[in-house]
Structure 1
């Protein structure tokens, strides 16, 4: 990792520090190569660090898990034992459970891995109140630009949000946004030239299939899984028809569902459930899937800047731009003041909302437009939803994120915001 990227600020640090002070076990998961190891080494440099990528360490731990952990934690006092790639050991979870049940000290273990080591239901349940699991995603644009944490969700959840509270957003061109989308958020890879970067992203997917998938479950047809990943990149920001994917990949429907679960657990794709009001049967209940990193999805599809130009496929920008916005929201979600959940919504008569942020008593409804201008027509679904649709019983804020440069109000808590507002300043 080069020096300019190594110390980019990670907005999850306060959450990690709080977790270490309040839980006996801190479990940090996220995609391979997003900086988990660098983060915990910098943040918890006073602890003892071991990696289960070392075959000898893994073999010793599996031979005598409790004895090895007791030996590794001896003399640490208030410092944690940091175990990297913790998911590689199937015996680790129960040994940790036994130790932290006997010793109630906070911050004993910090685990990192590409998937959750505590996958057994009885172990996870028994560690309730003893463990906090946090996810480190690829870099957000705010982190890349060393800007403040994205607080637009907290802003929109106010009773009367005001555009005055939003600082002047960074003025970006359509080309600037495309560059951000193509670069992605993996610290070491995003700064490479396009050709080298995209080759490395494709190699990254091969490494995940060859190495990380086996930590979750054996896969009999890795080539079919690789095809499924390519198909998910094509279908980012879409509702998924698993039966159609089964035909394309020559897999059984149940196997497709299992493979999709693996991709979610490895943080390659993320799933937005369908928000339902409970009012009737005319709401679609299929989830929508997004590829977690737009740089990876564009590399799999061989997208370049020329792809989005007039005469090629400018319409293909829509899906990856929506996934880009979802990624920015998802990365900031744990650090908001409120506990918010992300969904999408669509009715049987084709009214839809790209992202619905549920804050309980207040909903924030988001549309993403790959254009530099906004009209009243862009708000028709948002306004109907809040006045005549299932959102009429709650407070609703509508936002259209677009590629323009102006913050605009369209009345009744409906706003058009440049996408760069997601890493702009917010005064609350």
Structure 2
């Protein structure tokens, strides 16, 4: 089993909050993590999976009786977004006996789940997002970075016996999301059109988000594109990275950039079947950029916000970490093994005035290439950010 970085943070929340929510996409390992937590808690626990008909019926038909009769246990409810009316009863039960670790709630991609649970359990619940397996987690099991980048971080996909099984897993994963989950979340377009929409997003991965271009390409309105992208974000499939432009006098690009969050999913959507195919593919540079972002952003301290920076005259930085309104770290991401800096990068640092600056390549080396600049790989970057106290764990 691969140890997950958030485990200790979740246990800390369970020592204080009556309920803890673990959110993330399907197949990311929420159930496995919860089952491990159940063995580490100081009291007995009971598990219900609302995707199982018998568990769903038991809780929906006998909610109060079932929860009250397990009042001295930690109750784990998986796929809890399938029974949103449950949250009102959870609030009442928690308030009658307010103690730590009463509930662990696991949820997969549901905006209504987030909204309803926040309204009903405000002040009673702490949320944690479980991302796909990170490179620092995979490295502890000696999984090569090449395999992790190519296959992505979903556990079953990453650990598949070969690339053929990985590809088949991704195929089934996308089919399940498209045909079941996304339609339940509010995307009403046909399945073929939704497939085209997701593939269109994969082709603009790492680019500035242009709603008109996407709208014209697949024949739906700008408003629908915006709404569907919001749903894909809340389903943990895509990330919009906002530009940094506070207190800047220059002409700044103000459109966000769009990324498919899991590199393995991106590669499947581009029909990239092996690592050798990946390094020769035109998307490899943008893929590496998105991959590095997804290894860093889930680990950031909540006070540190990620952005990118770009001006109309060519200054550009792939990732800028901002503390409050102050940029504190600039990160240039290069697939080339050579750490040479572009003029746009040095101009960006002059604008942003960041003292800690990194060039991230696959090879790295953690070496200084000029004052204020370190050349490193992804794991070395995270170690440097840990030293600077910009990551949570």
TM-score normalized by structure 2? 0.88
Within 2, Cα distance between the matches of 1:290 and 1:75?
43
Distance 1:327 1:277 in 2: 24
Give, in whole Å, the separation in 1 of the partners of 2:286 and 2:292.
Answer: 10
Matched, 1:291 2:285: no
What secondary structure does 2:335 align onto?
coil
1:409-428 to 2 correspondences below 5 Å = 409-422=368-381
Any idea what the Cα deviations from partners look like across 1:125-183, whole Å, max 9, x if unmatched? 45332111111011011111217xxxxxxxxxxxxxxxxxxxxxx9x9xxx65433112
Q: Paired residue for 1:107, among 101, 114, 117?
A: 101
Give 1:194 deviation, angstroms.
1.0
Alpha-carbon distance in structure 2 between the residues aligned to 1:427 and 1:341: 17
Match of 1:47 in 2: 45
Matched, 1:307 2:277: yes
Partner of 1:263: 232
Distance 1:35 1:120 in 2: 19
Provide the residue aligned with 1:4 in structure 2. Answer: none
SS of 2:242's equivalent in the other structure is strand
Question: What is the DSSP-based 3-state SS (H/G/I as helix, E as strand, rest coil) of the residue aligned with 2:188?
Answer: coil
Change (3 A) 1:48 1:397: same
The equivalent of 1:156 in structure 2 is none
Aligned-residue Cα RMSD (Å) equals: 2.6
CA contact 2:135–2:145 (8 Å) conserved in 1 = no
Q: How does 1:79-118 map to 2 (within 5 A)?
A: 79-116=73-110
Equivalent pair of 2:261/2:294 in contact (CA under 8 Å): yes
**1:357 pairs with 2:326:** no
Q: Which residue of 1 aligns with 2:332?
A: 367
User: Runs of 5+ in structure 2 lacking a partner?
Assistant: 389-393
5+ long unaligned stretches in structure 1: 1-6, 148-169
- Report the Cα distance in structure 2 between the residues aligned to 1:25 and 1:94, rounded to whole angstroms: 13
Matched with 1:17 is: 11
Q: 1:378-419: per-residue Cα shift (whole Å, max 9, x none)?
A: 3x33432333x2x23xx4321110133432223442211133
Which of 214, 234, 240 is 1:245 aligned to? 214
Q: Is the 8 A contact 1:50 1:82 kept in 2?
A: yes
Asked if the contact 1:368–1:400 (Cα under 8 Å) also holds between the matched residues in 2, the reply is yes
1:203 positional shift? 1.5
Alpha-carbon distance change, 119 to 191 in structure 1, aligned in 2, over 3 angstroms: closer
CA separation of 1:68 and 1:141: change in aligned 2, threshold 3 A:
same
Alignment partners' CA distance in 2, 1:212 and 1:346: 35
Deviations 1:76-114 (A, max 9, x none): 41x321000111113122222232233322222111121
Matched pairs, number: 380
Distance 1:406 1:145, change over 3 A: closer
What residue is the counterpart of 2:22 in the other structure? 28
Which consecutive aligned stretches of 4+ in structure 1 deviate over 4 angstroms post-superposition?
116-123, 422-428
**TM-superposed deviation, 1:39:** 0.7
TM-score (norm 1): 0.81
Choose which of 294, 298, 303 in structure 2 pairs with 1:339. 303
2: CA distance between counterparts of 1:80 and 1:118?
24
Assess if the C-alpha contact under 8 Å between 2:356 and 2:373 holds in 1. yes
Residue aligning to 2:348: 385
Match of 1:400 in 2: 359
> What residue is the counterpart of 2:391 in the other structure?
none
- Which of 1 and 2 has higher RCO (CA within 8 Å, sep 6+)? 1
1:201 maps to which residue?
170
- Which stretch has the larger CA shift, 316-325 or 236-245? 236-245
- Cα distance in 1, alignment partners of residues 365 and 91 from structure 2: 53
